[in-house]
Amino acid sequence: MRGLRLAFGITLLLGGLFSPRATGAQQATTAARIGYLATDLAASPHLREAFRQGLRDLGYVEGRNVVIEYRDAEGKFERLPTLAAELIALKVDVIMAVSTPAALAAKQATRVLPIVFATAGDPVGSGFVTSLARPGGNVTGLSILTPELVGKRLELLKHTVPGLSRVAVIWQPGGVPERAEKDMLKEAHAAARALAVGLQFVETRGPADFDRAFSDMTRAHAGALTVLGSPMFVIERRRLVDLAAKNRLPAVYPWRDGVDAGGLMSYGPNLADSFRRAATYVDKILKGAKPADLPVEQPTKFELAVNLKTAKALGLTIPPSLLARADHVVEK
């Protein structure tokens, strides 16, 4: 009888240890930890939400089986190395770097901890990976290198602005890796020749140069503006949009955020889709995959966005054929 009671007690003890409640507690202590290294969270909150939605689609729930540690440079790129070091000290399982500067800071801070980038301009040129097919290190993710779209954007302006003969090209020297920068400038020259428009290249190394840049455009009688890709321009897009409106310059941007901020048009990779896709890389790494074995993904979804309110303010009519192709239209 005593042996029976002892056996029953052991059964209860084991049952308690392996009950759903106990298992849940164990899972809570082993939740995945993701470090989210951002250049400016306030600038693009929808991109962070796209990443979180991507995680939810894969079964991750914040506070239950995943913890996300956010670190935000608030537009001050010089803070990124310190923030990357903080995430490493927290012993996160993987770092999600939202931009080229964030990925660079993370890579310089660790050669061991897995890093996923969401919007690298030129992963090979930046030194993140050996090649797109075989990254070869602790870094992988999604590229948005699309220099060939520079010409497409000039075409959009040519078809929208009657009699357009001169376009200002605003760019930030060193804003993207050297190879990508050369490719974008080369594409701009080639497209301008094909479209028979003149180009005015306007350098801006930081926001302090913006007023001078737009004064130069006005003096040169530019009839429109195209913005080349740069993380700084993404963060400062509202000021760019405001200055373009003030100077009555129809402008085309490489990202939809420019149109949502009030710009006329944009054509480029769907950044929200890139952030959702980045969640799949994080998931694979958390399940044991090595970044070295995960090929860098190039953009597959592109979107044309048009702001009809801005077009009206500029006295422009968007061609019906172009409007019919638009993926996103702002009407009010």
- Over the stretch 73-94, which tens digit does the pLDDT of each residue have? 998 999 999 999 999 999 999 9
pLDDT of residue 39: 92
User: What is the rounded average pLDDT of the residues 197-221?
Assistant: 95
Domain assignment present for residue 23? The answer is no
Cα 41 from Cα 45, distance rounded (Å): 6
Are residues 209 and 138 both part of a single domain?
no
Residues 6+ apart with CB under 8 A from 173: 181, 203, 205
Say whether both 210 and 107 belong to one domain.
no
Same domain, 188 and 321: yes
Dist. CA 77–CA 104, nearest whole Å: 11
The pLDDT-based confidence of 4 (bands split at 50, 70, 90) is very low
Q: How far is CA 237 from the centre of its chain?
A: 14
Supply the range of the domain harboring residue 280. 31-145+272-293
Mean pLDDT over residues 208-212, rounded?
Answer: 96
8 A C-beta contact, residue 35 and residue 91: no
Q: Is 15 contained in some domain? A: no
Integer Cα distance of 95 and 107 in angstroms: 10
Q: How many C-beta atoms lie closer than 10 Å to residue 228's C-beta? A: 23
Report the alpha-carbon angle 296-301-302, nearest 5.
120
Type of residue at 250: P
- The two structure tokens encoding residue 16: 């308690």
Residue 12 or 36, more confident: 36
Domain count, the chain: 2
Among 2-6, 83-87, 131-135, the minimum mean pLDDT is found in 2-6
pLDDT tens digits along 269-282: 999 999 999 999 99
Mean pLDDT throughout 163-180? 91
Contact 259, 108 (CB under 8 A): no
User: What is the predicted pLDDT for the residue at 235?
Assistant: 87
pLDDT digits (tens, 9 = 90+) for 287-331: 999 999 999 998 888 999 999 999 999 999 999 999 999 999 999
Is residue 19 in a domain?
no
CATH value at residue 194: 3.40.50.2300
SS3 23: helix
Residues 125 and 196 in one domain: no
88 with 229, same domain: the answer is no
Tell which residue, 173, 174, 163, 153, has the closest CA to residue 225: 153
The answer to whether residues 119 and 199 belong to one domain is no
- The pLDDT value recorded for residue 19 is 40
Token digits of residue 213 = 């840049």
Q: What is the pLDDT of residues 103-114, one digit of tens each?
A: 999 999 999 999
Same domain as 318, residue 169: yes
| pLDDT tens string 19-65 | 433 333 334 458 999 999 999 998 889 999 999 999 999 999 999 99
| Whole-number percent of the chain with pLDDT over 70 | 91
Residue 2 within any structural domain of the chain: no
The two tokens of residue 231 are 């993380």
